[in-house]
Chain A
Amino acid sequence: MDIKDFIAPFAVWKRAFEKPFTVKKPIDERPGAPRYRGFHINDAQKCIGCGTCEAICMNKAIDLVPAAGYAAKEGDSGLRPRVDYGRCCWCALCVDVCPSGSLGMSNEYVWIDSDPEVFRYTPGVEAKPWDGSPLGYRRAEGYRLLEEQRVEMPELDYKEAVQTFLELVRGYSRQQAEKEADRCVSCGVCIASCPAHMDIPGYINAVREGDMQNGLRLLYETNPFPEACGRICTHRCEEACAIGTGGDPVAIRWLKRYIADQVELADYGKVLPRAEADSGKKIAVVGAGPGGLSAAYYLALLGHSVTVFEKDSEAGGMLRYGIPEYRLPYPALDKDIGYIESLGVKIERGTAVGSAVALAELRSRFDAVYLSTGLPAAYSLEVPGDKHPRVLDGVAVLAAATRGEPLGLGKRVAVVGGGNVAMDAARTALRNGAAVDILYRRRKEDMPADPDEIREAIAEGASLVEKAIPLEVRDAAGAIAGKQALFVWNEARMVQKEDGKRPVPEAIPGAVHEDPYDSIIAAIGQGPDLSFIGEADRLELRRFKPVVDGFGRIAEAAAGAAAEPGAPASASPSKAAAVFAGGDLVNDRKDAISAIADGHHAAQGIDRWLDRKGS
């Protein structure tokens, strides 16, 4: 201790002549830093209510509550996160994890109240002073807790693929599947978008856990075509996928396929449920497409005895005849159908209802009938010359390819249409060595086909001609009549006719093109063939569609008073079995998964109807 120790401390007084450290008006002068984790904000329009924030929150601070003005719809649960500031710890993991990136935090931090009940609010829905604050914590650039990129699906090289009918998509390996499955946050928003309402989070979780048997069991709860759907489903679920709001959606379809691929058919029986007891009821199903066979499967599970009538020589319907082998290899389809058959479902192949057996006969022989005949009749081009021999029907071409018949498409093929059938036809033609033009009335983004399919078709070498309105088909000049056709089409531009509707193509006057083709494949849609339903069946049809109730039962025309006078009004309108219908025949979605959903649903309806009738 020296003299310095007595003098030096007085250096404190130096401070007295400096500016104080004190902030004059702290509350006003010190806003939170630009990254400050203040009170929550939410872009309620962008938010889809997936609840991932709720799942990550370790404080159980977030509830999902219905929000005024946000109704549940596909891809939006209509719920919005409600934060309890009696729980929140401002860790912002909810912001980091938010798939859509709608959650954020403002840099506001003062909220004082004497009432402890007020500290709960729904950001973005209940107005708060800090709404829309540009500053505050946001997920940093290049930082995500969830993987935004999908595991790339291994595919054949397009150059190679176009040479063969080998399956293009090779399927995930175990590692890839588990990695992809790990991207899922199990929010379940997708379930509503799936026509069959499959338990998507459930089976994805099964992949994550590596429990394939459980996964298969979950798949079969609502869908007996996992192999087929795992390949060709229109996967509307992926459009609703929460992860898709901020990156690639989870490859739900491929994961489904992965599960089905992993389990041997022989093991199916060990996992899947079976009928507990035979009910003694007999049910006829017309059409062995996905819808019909689904109905058959679920009816069989309920203990009914099912017979399926199929006009073609093989079961599968459009899955077999409408979808080329490189997308859905026949063994995969056979696996699905094989399992259904193994439950005792009889498939009468080559038996067309209407010609081989009448509907009325089915109605008398069986306790109920399910119609799932789909849309076998192709629409024609509806232009002059559409009956030209080189104008082929897309579905027919695909069916012929399935049967292995020579197609004789020639060297240059035009495919007219923008749906999946068009793409499949184009790619089938490519595989037959043709040069293919796809002509479509509207733009590429308007095409109803699966984007993957369009991408693949183009990658395989098809050229896409957008905004082409067909005008006429006629014999090409100098060609042998009926051997080559000249396709006349008009270039169009897109015109916004009505607000809120999609623009329509309008022909540009004078911009008419003429191209010679060896074949013109028309794939602009198909219609039903209801010729087997007769007047006497008294089934109500409207605009070529059966009129069905919630369970797919076709309404029966009010029994003509003349036919059965005095019949009690409450009694069944006819003694004949009730007829149910579903699939493309009835619904507007016209895809396999909707048909499957209809089939499942109708099976429940039929069972209830039988119950009611029996009691």
Chain B
Amino acid sequence: MIADIFVRIGYAAISLFILTNYGLLLIGSMARISAKVQGRVGQPVWQPYIDIIKSIAKRNSIGHGVMFYLGPVFRLAGGIGTYMFIPAVFGSVLFRNFSDSGDLLLVMYFIFFGQLGMALGASEGGHPYSALGVSRGLAQMTAFEVPFALSVIAVVIQYGTLDITAIVAAQQGGFLNWTLFTNPLAVLAAMIAFLGMSGHNPFSVVLAPQEIPIGPPTEYHSNLLGMLQTNRAVFNGAKLVLYMNLFFGGATNIVIMVIKTFLIYFINIFVGQAFPRFRTDQSIRFFLGVPTVVGIISVIIAVL
């Protein structure tokens, strides 16, 4: 029994490791694609690795109290936590993580958890931009969580379970079984929320270099920044896997997972390169508008 637990922990660690690397490469390749649109070559795909190593290689760092240090820790914990309770590849022992121990609600909690932890830590930095960024981030998060939650509710109602593995299982057997086709409105609402969740344009107001450079992480540096950068890969990966599982039929092997998550992520870039960013009030108004209505309709449809 104990051995079994250790094996699972080992598997989870490997899974996390692979996901982290995948997340980093994903960020790197998306930067390449953006660069292409912008008419340039762009950074190497492995640039995120170097940046993290560089951050860790910084010699000194300063602190602003315990909470300041805990911010990135919470954030990373949130990222890892999110991932740990999602099965990355349906049916794979290696990638099932601890998905049987937690359900969708726990995952959604973790998505929030990281943000909140970050908010607490960043505010401690004393920088007004951090504080502004945090308030914007929380405000926007609250807004996009509405359509996201609605679509999750719709999905849960549709499949009658909170267990992600079960949701994935329900979608197997042909792409027409995917939520995308069985409940397109929920997916639409969720995808719009996803744009907000990833912080790409037009919902990048949290980081907004031209306005509040660069929002919550303004004061973070050195290995704390390295932690945040790693988390970005983990958290992005986790969200992508979650979306894939909930709406796009999950993945039966790692190749399909890579293709699906890549395409889901690409939507961010596809929209992000075309639009400037909303102001906070505009994005809140936006999320509480059409996507929320769509989400509600999808819930209604699911209930019916």
**A residues within 8 Å of B by Cβ?**
9-13, 15-16, 18, 20-22
In angstroms, Cα B273 to Cα A18, docked, is: 16
Residue of B nearest to A14 (CB): B37
A18 with B39: CB separation less than 8 A: yes
A sample of 24 cross-chain residue pairs with beta-carbon separation below 8 angstroms, ordered by A number, consists of A9-B274, A9-B275, A10-B270, A12-B37, A12-B273, A12-B274, A13-B37, A13-B270, A13-B273, A15-B36, A15-B38, A15-B39, A16-B33, A16-B36, A16-B37, A18-B39, A20-B36, A20-B39, A20-B41, A21-B39, A21-B40, A22-B39, A22-B40, A22-B41
Q: Nearest 7 CB-CB pairs, A to B?
A: A9-B274, A21-B39, A22-B40, A16-B36, A16-B37, A22-B41, A10-B274
Min CB distance A223 to B, Å, is 71
| Apart from A15-B36, A21-B39, 19 more pairs, CB < 8 Å | A9-B274, A9-B275, A10-B270, A10-B274, A12-B37, A13-B273, A13-B274, A15-B38, A15-B39, A16-B33, A16-B37, A18-B39, A20-B35, A20-B36, A20-B39, A20-B40, A21-B40, A22-B40, A22-B41
Set of chain A residues within 8 Å of B270, measured between Cβ atoms:
10, 13
Set of chain B residues within 8 Å of A22, measured between Cβ atoms:
39-41
Set of chain A residues within 8 Å of B273, measured between Cβ atoms:
12-13
Chain A facing B: main interface SS: helix
In angstroms, Cα B35 to Cα A20, docked, is: 9
Q: Which of B25-61 contact A (CB under 8 A)?
A: 33, 35-41
In angstroms, Cα B37 to Cα A12, docked, is: 7
In angstroms, Cα B30 to Cα A16, docked, is: 13
Set of chain A residues within 8 Å of B36, measured between Cβ atoms:
15-16, 20
Set of chain A residues within 8 Å of B33, measured between Cβ atoms:
16
In angstroms, Cα B41 to Cα A9, docked, is: 21
Give the one of A12, A21, A22 with max B CB within 10 A.
A12
Min CB distance A263 to B, Å, is 72
Min CB distance B157 to A, Å, is 31
Set of chain B residues within 8 Å of A20, measured between Cβ atoms:
35-36, 39-41
Set of chain B residues within 8 Å of A12, measured between Cβ atoms:
37, 273-274
Min CB distance B149 to A, Å, is 26
Residue of B nearest to A10 (CB): B274
**B residues within 8 Å of A by Cβ?**
33, 35-41, 270, 273-275
In angstroms, Cα B39 to Cα A15, docked, is: 6
A15 with B37: CB separation less than 8 A: yes
Set of chain A residues within 8 Å of B35, measured between Cβ atoms:
20
Set of chain B residues within 8 Å of A15, measured between Cβ atoms:
36-39
Set of chain A residues within 8 Å of B39, measured between Cβ atoms:
15, 18, 20-22
Residue of A nearest to B40 (CB): A22
In angstroms, Cα B270 to Cα A446, docked, is: 84
In angstroms, Cα B39 to Cα A11, docked, is: 13
In angstroms, Cα B29 to Cα A209, docked, is: 72
In angstroms, Cα B273 to Cα A16, docked, is: 11
In angstroms, Cα B32 to Cα A22, docked, is: 13
Set of chain A residues within 8 Å of B37, measured between Cβ atoms:
12-13, 15-16
Min CB distance A2 to B, Å, is 16
In angstroms, Cα B114 to Cα A30, docked, is: 48
In angstroms, Cα B275 to Cα A11, docked, is: 11
In angstroms, Cα B40 to Cα A21, docked, is: 6
Min CB distance B166 to A, Å, is 37
Min CB distance A29 to B, Å, is 14
In angstroms, Cα B139 to Cα A103, docked, is: 65
Residue of A nearest to B33 (CB): A16
In angstroms, Cα B273 to Cα A21, docked, is: 17
Give the one of B33, B35, B36 with max A CB within 10 A.
B36
Min CB distance A173 to B, Å, is 65
Give the one of B33, B35, B273 with max A CB within 10 A.
B273
Set of chain B residues within 8 Å of A9, measured between Cβ atoms:
274-275
In angstroms, Cα B38 to Cα A10, docked, is: 13
Set of chain B residues within 8 Å of A21, measured between Cβ atoms:
39-40
In angstroms, Cα B36 to Cα A18, docked, is: 9
In angstroms, Cα B275 to Cα A137, docked, is: 44
In angstroms, Cα B37 to Cα A350, docked, is: 103
Min CB distance A270 to B, Å, is 74
In angstroms, Cα B40 to Cα A15, docked, is: 10
In angstroms, Cα B270 to Cα A11, docked, is: 11
In angstroms, Cα B274 to Cα A10, docked, is: 5
Min CB distance A104 to B, Å, is 36
Set of chain B residues within 8 Å of A16, measured between Cβ atoms:
33, 36-37
Give the one of B33, B39, B41, B270 with max A CB within 10 A.
B39
Set of chain A residues within 8 Å of B41, measured between Cβ atoms:
20, 22
In angstroms, Cα B38 to Cα A15, docked, is: 7
Residue of A nearest to B37 (CB): A16
Min CB distance A541 to B, Å, is 87
Min CB distance B77 to A, Å, is 37
Set of chain A residues within 8 Å of B274, measured between Cβ atoms:
9-13
Set of chain A residues within 8 Å of B38, measured between Cβ atoms:
15
In angstroms, Cα B274 to Cα A9, docked, is: 5
In angstroms, Cα B37 to Cα A10, docked, is: 11
In angstroms, Cα B36 to Cα A16, docked, is: 5
In angstroms, Cα B37 to Cα A18, docked, is: 9
Min CB distance B39 to A, Å, is 4
In angstroms, Cα B36 to Cα A20, docked, is: 7
Min CB distance A13 to B, Å, is 6
In angstroms, Cα B270 to Cα A16, docked, is: 11
Min CB distance A481 to B, Å, is 103
Residue of A nearest to B272 (CB): A12
In angstroms, Cα B41 to Cα A10, docked, is: 20
In angstroms, Cα B41 to Cα A20, docked, is: 7
Min CB distance B182 to A, Å, is 27
Min CB distance B54 to A, Å, is 21
In angstroms, Cα B266 to Cα A13, docked, is: 12
Residue of B nearest to A17 (CB): B36
Min CB distance B34 to A, Å, is 9
Set of chain A residues within 8 Å of B275, measured between Cβ atoms:
9
Min CB distance B220 to A, Å, is 31
In angstroms, Cα B292 to Cα A384, docked, is: 128
